[in-house]
Each structure stands twice: as C-alpha cells, then as structure tokens.
Structure 1
C-alpha cells in the first residue's frame, strides 16, 4: 500500500548483516500488487539480541517474521511451535503469528522442490545427489525426503560438523523411510559415481557465485543428458554448473526459482495469498 496507517500489518526480517537483504523489496512489491495493507521491514538482529527481538515482535503485534543467517537455528527456542519440516531441519526461516502464538516454518526446501517441479522434473521415488549440507542443503534434503525422494546422496566438506550432519541425515532417514547417506566432498570418484545414476543433481554451496563464478563442484563429464541440474546460487543467473549442464543436454534449474518460491510460500502462510511470482521476477530480475 502507498500509505502506512494504524491498521498496517508488519512483517520483519531478522538477520545480520541485513542491508543486502532482498526480502523487503520483494515482499513490499508483492503486497502492493496484491493490495495487502502490510509492510516488510528489516532489523539487524544478532544472536545475542534474538530473544529480545522475538519478544519485541510479540509485544508489537508483528504478523510474521523472516529469519536469515545467523538466526535460523537460534530462534527455535523462542517460538511456541514448529512445523514438522522446521523441527526436522532444526532451522526456521519463516514465522507465522497465530493469535498470541509464534509458529516457525522453513520454506527453503519447499521452495526448492516447487522450482524443480515447475521445471517439469519429477524426482519423487527417484535418486538425487546434493552437494552442501549447510543451511540451504539441510532444508533441501529434509524436504526432499519428506516429499518422497527415495535416495539422497549428500556430499559435504569434512568439517567440524560432519559427524553431526551424519546423525541428522540418519534421523531424517528414520523419520521419512527414505535413504540418505553422507559422503566426503573430497572423494571425487564417489561423487562422480553417485551423480551418474541420479535424476537430480543439486548444488547448495556458494560455489558459482562471485568470486567463485568460474568454478563448479561438478565436472562436466560427470553429467548425463536428461538429468536435472539445480543450483541455489542466483547471481549470476547461469552459473558454470548450469551452463555446462545445458551443454550436455541436462535440464538446468536456476537458484532464482528457490528464492522466489520460498518467498511465495511464506506469503501463503502469512495471509493465504498467492504471490504474483511472474511480476516479481520480471520487476527485479528481468527476463535474461
């Protein structure tokens, strides 16, 4: 809406740093297009201030929250309820107000799966290989398992969180009945092997965005025509991984779809409305 009044609802994004966040621009354009009397604002909230920030949102009657790094896991303890996906992921990126209760959701994985489906790719009951098990990666493998992707090979660097990630994958496998296994990303022979018979390959790391825009975690010769290849990076729109996927006849899926659809699903949760995704894409990203 053009004028903020005493009836205007508020959605706030928590995170730090927050100046570069696109969410306020995307959602405010959507709210205006839909005629929703709501504004989306941003607040630089660090972990040490998160408890007070959530309490402030309660007191001020915010309709919902967007949560980004580094607050996605820390906020769980301050909410009244979690969706099954958010609980299993151990991370929240969307908070919905229901009366006096704040309910945490995670729309990242659902946004990714929506983008894959809209690209005409059916991965349900099939196998996927996922590179990266961090925030975006954990949301993707959890939602994929919940949706019925039969087998998920997850590759991650062997860092201090590797064993904890293996335990989380085992928990997701136990809860969903799907097959999930963690591999060391340094094992390129195993990575090539798992990719060879996967219906979908997804990269949920920062490789592909500047200054790593001339790099890819996947060698071109590992890809197979007809496979779907998805990236979570959306700047540049066509990463090296997606360019090489297209060159071998695979189906490239840009990270822009995940960005837009996780936001659209959040608006459904807050207000039960459909974000005008084509309008938002054209306004902020053009058709290139």
Structure 2
C-alpha cells in the first residue's frame, strides 16, 4: 500500500478498537478495486469524541465507520442525519461531503441483505428478536422496512423489551416479552425467524447462549446470530443439530461494510474479498 497526500482517508471511530477486523477488510477491498483509499483505526475515548469529529473535517477524511460507544452520541455533532440512522436511532457510518457531516446507518439494510443472500425471505413472516439493545433496534427497523408481519422482542427485562417495542409505532405489530414467561415460548412457537442480538456466545465467553426452549420452535424456523466471533456459535451449533437453517453474523458485518464502502466511494464493494479477509482474520 502506497499512502500519499492524495490518498483518501476513511476509518473507524470507537473505544476500544484492539480487535476490530474492519481495517483489514476495507483495506483489502480498496486494494482489490485499485482505489487510492486507506482505512485507519481511530481509537477515540468518549471524552475526546467532539475533538475527533472536528479533526475528521479538518484533516479531509471522506468518512468513517462508528462503533461502540459512539453510535448515539456522535449524532449531536453532525450536520445531517439520514433516514436510515433516524429509524435506528444510531449512526454507524459517517460521510463527509462538501464539508458537511452526514450520518447513516447501514446495519439494518446490511442485515436484510445478508438474509437475502442466504435465501431467506421475511415478507409476511413472524420474527422473534433476542435482546433489546441497539443491535435489536436496527434489526427490528430492517424487518419493518421489509414487510415483516410481526415482531416480538424477548429480553431478560420485560421493561426494556416493552420500551424497545414502543419505539416502533407504525402498522407492524411489535411487542415485548420476558424470556422466562410463557408468552416468550408462545412467540417462539410461531416464529419463522429467531435472531440473537445479544453478545451471548461471543468470544471469549463462547459457551453461553440465549435461553431458547428448542422444542417449541417450528422445524422450518431460521435461526440467526449476529455474533461473528466465533463464526459458528454454540447457539448456531445447537440450531444446526436440531435441523434448523442457520445464518451467522459474518454476513451482516460484510454487508453493512459493503454499504458503507459504496457511500464513501460511489462504487460497488468487492464483497467476496471482504468476506475472505474477514474469515481469514477470524480463523
């Protein structure tokens, strides 16, 4: 990689960033496409976020990805927030155009793209979301925007699940339930797709998984896990053992990254290169 004063700069704002695979994934994509871009890790503690955002503009960055813990806080420093970020209530991609900072969220559409690539159609289907955090909100927004019939949000704390459900006030029914209640088992028995949006099963705590009563699920139910490290979580392994189609989190990571790549470059991303780089990094 030959970096010069003409090289276009993008990067990743978050804290900490020691294990992020995004720089390797995006730099491999830029190299494969012959683009003079570089993707830099930009570890930014919360107290330095305002200065970091001002620095992006001053240093001529094209944009950045935004990750924990800045995805909501960064919104107050932006000139414009795209509808994709307004629906999710968080920004994960920033584009700097004509000195204006524009916030987007590619998580929802990235997840839906990963389902489509796996041959999963959600129109008219019922979904259960495990977890009531920011990732859950993105998935619910993606589902609603693609004509899901109904969504149930299951969490340890019903108050959090209900609070998340109340954020969605359109025509699609969205409800909250507690994991330890019969309503949760009933929702699972009717679900066409179950999505884990919690960190349960993520490295290094790979033995954990959400409390799903597997015998309640339909045989044809699709089981999806946003965790991508490890590539095959215990949750997915158990679903596979029981005959369910499974979809891991790596696909969403690649697709949301590919959408960000297109926002920055105006070109389609080399998804195969991005996926190969990601999987190599995880192994």
Q: TM-score range by the shorter chain?
A: over 0.9
Structure-2 separation of matches of 1:130 and 1:225:
18
Structure-2 separation of matches of 1:104 and 1:150:
29
Tell me which residue corresponds to 1:119: 118
CA contact (8 A) 1:223 1:250 kept: no
CA contact (8 A) 2:191 2:217 kept: no
1:85 Cα deviation from its structure 2 partner: 2.2
1:95 Cα deviation from its structure 2 partner: 0.5
Runs (4+) of structure 1 moved beyond 3 Å? 165-168
CA deviations 1:60-93 (Å, max 9, x no partner) are 1100011010000000000111111211221111
Tell me which residue corresponds to 2:165: 169
Structure-1 separation of matches of 2:186 and 2:146:
24
1:223 Cα deviation from its structure 2 partner: 2.6
CA contact (8 A) 1:245 1:251 kept: yes
CA contact (8 A) 2:149 2:173 kept: yes
Tell me which residue corresponds to 1:128: 127
Structure-2 separation of matches of 1:107 and 1:245:
27
TM-score scaled by length of structure 2:
0.93
Task: Select the residue among 191, 200, 220 that pairs with 1:198.
Answer: 191
Tell me which residue corresponds to 2:173: 179
Tell me which residue corresponds to 1:224: 218
What secondary structure, in the 3-state scheme, does the structure 1 residue paired with 2:231 have? coil
Structure-2 separation of matches of 1:221 and 1:215:
19
Q: Which moved more, 1:212-221 or 1:85-94?
A: 212-221
1:133 Cα deviation from its structure 2 partner: 1.7
What is the number of equivalent residue pairs in this alignment?
A: 281
1:211 Cα deviation from its structure 2 partner: 4.2
RMSD of aligned C-alpha atoms? 1.9
Tell me which residue corresponds to 1:137: 136
CA contact (8 A) 2:21 2:278 kept: no
1:272 Cα deviation from its structure 2 partner: 2.0
1:231 Cα deviation from its structure 2 partner: 0.1
Correspondences of 1:60-99 after superposition (within 5 Å):
60-99=59-98
Task: Select the residue among 237, 242, 259 that pairs with 1:243.
Answer: 237
Query: Are the structure 2 counterparts of residues 211 and 26 from structure 1 closer, same or farther at C-alpha, using a change threshold of 3 Å?
Result: closer
Structure-2 separation of matches of 1:41 and 1:30:
14
CA contact (8 A) 1:223 1:245 kept: no
CA contact (8 A) 2:114 2:255 kept: yes
What secondary structure, in the 3-state scheme, does the structure 2 residue paired with 1:178 have? coil
1:281 Cα deviation from its structure 2 partner: 2.0
TM-score scaled by length of structure 1:
0.92
What secondary structure, in the 3-state scheme, does the structure 1 residue paired with 2:209 have? coil
1:194 Cα deviation from its structure 2 partner: 0.6
Structure-2 separation of matches of 1:262 and 1:78:
22
CA contact (8 A) 2:113 2:252 kept: yes
Structure-1 separation of matches of 2:203 and 2:55:
36
CA contact (8 A) 2:91 2:105 kept: yes
Q: Which moved more, 1:95-104 or 1:30-39?
A: 95-104
Gaps of 5+ in 1: none
What secondary structure, in the 3-state scheme, does the structure 1 residue paired with 2:168 have? helix
What secondary structure, in the 3-state scheme, does the structure 1 residue paired with 2:74 have? helix
